[in-house]
Amino acid sequence: DKQAIKQAFRSFPRFLRMHGKLFVVSPDNTLVKRFVPELERSADALASERLESDFLSPSDPIRNIPVSMADNTTADWSVKELYDALPLMQAAELDDFRMILTSTVRDALPKNLGAELAKHPEYFAVWQYPDDETITVVQRAKLNTPEPTADELARAVVPMVPQGGLSPDQLLRRVPLPIQRYLYRNGVKKVIAASLTQYLTVSGNKIMKVF
């Protein structure tokens, strides 16, 4: 079964994402939970729904995301494998994401991986996480990062914070995917400090509601 899944879907996380109405896979591919439509939309469930729609706009960003890297690209085979395994519509921390690759692919990746991916801007968007610049974040290129208003941020983020609070990493796994990309691009703590101080506060590595 393992070989059949790998042959058909390239990886087990990709297999789970293709069944997005049942499962939600975290951005770093390390956690799986049951898909609850009322709480969040999984990447591939959303993509499938939009692609099947009669009203799909020709400019919809999903149409612009290459499924895989072109055969004639100069990228190493291991970089192509990494691209294939990247989430469709999520940002991910590069070091965490690299660990879910097979050891053969991981060992073959270039040493300065962030710089190597930056050589292929048509496929990868790479940046340093604003809250901790030792962390490199990667997502598929041509995937737009939204610019939500403060009210839109509040509606998307505040309900995800329980009474006891949570860590920024936990919040990134709970919010809708467009907001997840925005938070990775701008930093969870920085966004809270700039736009959400009337609702949330950050103490150390914990986000708490303001009462």
Q: What does the pLDDT look like over 141-198, one tens digit per residue?
A: 988 888 899 999 999 999 999 988 999 999 998 898 889 999 999 999 999 999 999 9
Q: Where are the beta strands (DSSP E) in 23-146?
A: 23-25, 32-34, 92-93, 124-128, 136-140
Mean of the per-residue pLDDT values of the chain: 80
Q: Per-residue pLDDT averaged across 23-44, rounded?
A: 52
Q: What is the pLDDT of residue 177?
A: 86
Of the pLDDT bands very low, low, confident and very high (cuts 50, 70, 90), residue 56 is: very low
- What residue type is 164 in one-letter code? G
Q: What is the pLDDT of residue 77?
A: 93
Q: Per-residue pLDDT averaged across 29-50, rounded?
A: 49
What are the distances in angstroms from CA 16 to CA 7, 22, 67, 99, 179? 14, 8, 17, 18, 22
Neighbours of 187 (CB within 10 A): 18
Of the pLDDT bands very low, low, confident and very high (cuts 50, 70, 90), residue 100 is: confident
Report whether pLDDT(22) > 50.
yes
Neighbours of 3 (CB within 10 A): 7
pTM of the model: 0.70
Q: Which runs of consecutive H residues, i.e. helices, occur in 131-187? A: 150-157, 168-174, 177-186
User: What does the chain come to in residues?
Assistant: 211
Map tokens 């009210």 to a residue.
151
Q: Per-residue pLDDT averaged across 81-99, rounded?
A: 87
Q: How far apart are CA 118 and CA 5, in angstroms?
A: 30
Neighbours of 192 (CB within 10 A): 21
Q: What is the pLDDT of residue 152?
A: 92
Report whether pLDDT(123) > 90.
yes
